[in-house]
Amino acid sequence: GAGVSQSPSNKVTEKGKDVELRCDPISGHTALYWYRQSLGQGLEFLIYFQGNSAPDKSGLPSDRFSAERTGGSVSTLTIQRTQQEDSAVYLCASSLGPAADTQYFGPGTRLTVL
């Protein structure tokens, strides 16, 4: 079946612009996660959605970052007034549910802020 999909695969933007990154999880997966991976670094947790519960936003680095998940499926990560330090690969993952340990990752969106 289809895996996690993300779009765009690459995004180049100018400092100060807003960007939207999209994630389409595996059908039937209720849990969705956003991570950020800077060059040569591990994955940094950003935000976690589970069903209709309030999201866990504890990893968002600043109020310029926000995310929503509509209809319990597709999620959008928005970064306002982008800065050069926002440049990274943004990875989305989904899992069957909160008790499911296996997270399946999408291909990521590489964001470059000039």
Q: Is 86 helix (H, G, I), strand (E, B) or coil?
A: helix
Q: Which stretch binds another protein (CB under 8 A): 11-19, 61-69, 72-80, 104-112?
A: 104-112
**Least distance to another protein, CB of residue 16, Å:** 28
Q: Is 85 helix (H, G, I), strand (E, B) or coil?
A: helix
Q: Is 101 helix (H, G, I), strand (E, B) or coil?
A: coil
Give the nearer residue to another protein in terms of CB position, either 40 or 71: 40
Q: Which stretch binds another protein (CB under 8 A): 20-28, 38-46, 62-70, 79-87?
A: 38-46
Alpha carbon distance 42, 69 (integer Å): 25
Rule CB under 8 A: say whether 108 interacts with another protein. yes
Q: Is 95 helix (H, G, I), strand (E, B) or coil?
A: strand
Site for another protein in 60-89 (CB under 8 A): none
Alpha carbon distance 32, 18 (integer Å): 22
**Least distance to another protein, CB of residue 11, Å:** 16
List the one residue out of 49, 40, 51, 47 whose CA is nearest residue 91: 47
Contacting positions for another protein (CB under 8 A):
31, 33, 35, 40-45, 48, 50, 56, 59, 91, 98, 101-108
